[in-house]
Amino acid sequence: MDNPLKVILEALVFISIEPLSLDRIREVLNDRSEEEIRRALEELEAEYNREGRGLRLQQVGGGFVLATRPDHDPWVRRLLQIERKTKLSHAAVETLSVIAYHQPATQPEIQAIRGVDSSYTIKTLLEKKLVKISGRKKAPGSPLLYRTTDRFLTYFGLNDLSELPSVEEVAKMLEEGDVPEEKRAGQKAAQQEKTQEETRTDTQEMELEKIPDET
């Protein structure tokens, strides 16, 4: 390690429990210029994100974190003797998407898009601190407004909301139609963890064959 600042930053990121923000780093290293710090961070990031490291330096939720690589998940879990982390439900991720892309959003707005009652899902998302109440809308009944939290960003490995899949990415996915979903199902099967969402495509197709075409 040639750059001493880089080494200091490595220590700071390592010891931080929450994502370490640039502001916080500047508070600690108040004799260094922002430019210097940024450059050192970039160097550090490049170094970590090269192949062959057990850790990676990620920017999530507005700060830097050191995390293990996904490939090493099986060994980490064996060491800690814990099960695979549970995923959010289908309804939860869908509701989160709606809130993330429409925030601040009210419950009626969320329901209008999803077409189903979302009160319970919103409640669980609030409990998980993935969304928060950000105020009330100046509308009849003053409904509560919901926003996503920093925890939401960290959970999905996003640095800020601008890193949400863009309209273009989503559109690209739509163009590819059902393909990615099926492809994903195949990958998951390989990992022996077909979840309800993925298996559904197959079942639906089967079912459709059975319906006589009345037109």
Partner 1 sequence: MEPVHAAEAESYQVRLEVFEGPMDLLLFLIRKKKIDIADIPISAITREYLAYLERKEQINLDREAEFLLMAALLISIKSQLLLPREQPPADEEDPRRPLVDRLLEYERMKSASLLLREREEEQLQSWRRTSLPPLDVADEPGLIEVSLFELAESFFLLLKRRENENFQYLKGKEVSLDEKMREIVRELEERHYLDFLEFLARQESLEEALISFFCLLELIKTGAVIAVQERLFHTIKVWLRRSRPLPESHGQSA
Closest CA to 25 of 52, 57, 53: 57
Q: Does 54 interact with partner 1 (rule: CB under 8 A)? A: no
Q: Does 129 interact with partner 1 (rule: CB under 8 A)? A: no
Residue nearer to partner 1 on the CB measure, 39 or 56: 56
Is the CB of residue 99 less than 8 Å from the CB of residue 148? Answer: yes
Handedness of CA 91, 97, 98, 103 (dihedral sign): positive
Which residues inside 62-121 make contact with partner 1, applying CB under 8 A? Answer: 65-71, 73, 76, 80, 82, 84-85, 87-94, 96-98, 100-101, 112-117, 120-121
Is the CB of residue 66 less than 8 Å from the CB of residue 55? Answer: yes
Closest CA to 162 of 49, 62, 44, 20: 62
Beta bridge partners of 106: 145
Binding residues for partner 1, per CB under 8 A?
Answer: 14, 17-18, 56, 58, 65-71, 73, 76, 80, 82, 84-85, 87-94, 96-98, 100-101, 112-117, 120-121, 124, 155-158, 164-165, 167, 169-170, 173-174, 177-178, 180-181, 184, 196-197, 199-200, 203-204, 207-208, 211, 214-215
